[in-house]
Chains A and B, each alone.
Chain A
Amino acid sequence: AQKITQTQPGMFVQEKEAVTLDCTYDTSDQSYGLFWYKQPSSGEMIFLIYQGSYDEQNATEGRYSLNFQKARKSANLVISASQLGDSAMYFCAMREGDGGSQGNLIFGKGTKLPVKP
């Protein structure tokens, strides 16, 4: 079973509108972290936002917010007031565990999001 599922391989949003990108995850750990990264056409991976499993409030970073529903194991990214520069692939990722020697991220397959003027 996939640990990170992004059910929307592609979608689009109109400039200035809000959009929600879906992410569900699967883990038996109590402590874990959830991340969203943006990959524009230039190829670099840009960190957007982080949510810890014990964080009670949803994370926000400027126009980005994370709708964290722990019981449903979902961590959807909300982008408000979309801009043309938001056009990119968006990846959801999970880090399992709170110690030990790992810390590696498990990535979903991504959602391609063009922003239309």
Chain B
Amino acid sequence: NAGVTQTPKFRVLKTGQSMTLLCAQDMNHEYMYWYRQDPGMGLRLIHYSVGEGTTAKGEVPDGYNVSRLKKQNFLLGLESAAPSQTSVYFCASSRGLGTQYFGPGTRLTVL
């Protein structure tokens, strides 16, 4: 049982490049979330999804897009990366409003 997995684990981008982060969960959870963690800031919600085909904005959505085409996958896209998007990105999933279980994180550096 893998739980929540994230791909890739590390990535370095140049300003203006694009990329997609993949989150996959095998727990059949309806809800999925993308957070970012910056030093001294705790985690902040970027986007979330309450089911396949639905997404919604969180606290810090600007510069990001998401898609939930399959229940088990939640993709986070950066269309034109900026240095301010240098962060550690965490995906999480939950069964309804229950406990959220997190992936191992993706460390992204934008030069």
Chain A: residues with CB nearer than 8 A to chain B?
4, 33, 35, 37, 43-47, 50, 91, 93, 95, 97-99, 101-105, 107-110
- Nearest chain A CB to B109 CB, angstrom units: 15
B84-111 interface mask toward A, CB cutoff 8 Å, 1 = contact, 0 = none?
A: 0000101010101101111011010000
Are A104 and B48 closer than 8 Å at their CB atoms? yes
Which one of A45, A101, A108 lies within 8 Å of B50 (CB-CB)?
Answer: A101
Query: Is B2's beta carbon under 8 Å from chain A?
Result: no
Interface size on B, residues (CB 8 A): 25
Look across to chain A and name the residue whose beta carbon is closest to the beta carbon of B88: A43
CB distance from A35 to the nearest CB of B (A): 7
Interface of B is mostly: strand
Nearest Cβ on chain A to B33's Cβ, whole angstroms = 6
Please state if A98 and B97 are interface contacts (CB–CB under 8 Å): yes
Instruction: Evaluate contact between B105 and A43: CB separation under 8 angstroms.
Output: yes
Residue of A whose beta carbon sits closest to that of B41: A109
- Tell me, in angstroms, the Cα distance from A70 to B105 when the chains sit together: 33
CB distance from A29 to the nearest CB of B (A): 12
Is A95 a contact partner of B42 (Cβ separation < 8 A)?
no
